[in-house]
Amino acid sequence: MVVLNIAWAGAFSSVAVKNQLLPFFSQLQTVLILRLTLIFGLGLGMLARLSNP
């Protein structure tokens, strides 16, 4: 699960770097996507800890 989270973070980081070259609206979209990804990753981490005591 940790590897999966790291892979997701890496993928969205590269997307964020590409979106830095686009206008301001795309940067706002990137921030929203990164926040959702962070929440999603934290949720997965919590589920993994709860299912594996």
Write the pLDDT tens digit of every residue in 18-29. Answer: 656 566 666 677
CA distances from 6 to 10, 21, 24, 26, 30 (A): 6, 24, 27, 23, 18
**What pLDDT, on the 0 to 100 scale, is given for residue 22?**
62
Instruction: Give the percent of the chain with pLDDT over 90.
Output: 11
The chain-wide mean pLDDT, for the chain, equals 77
Phi then psi for residue 44, to 5 deg, are -65, -40
Total-model pTM:
0.43
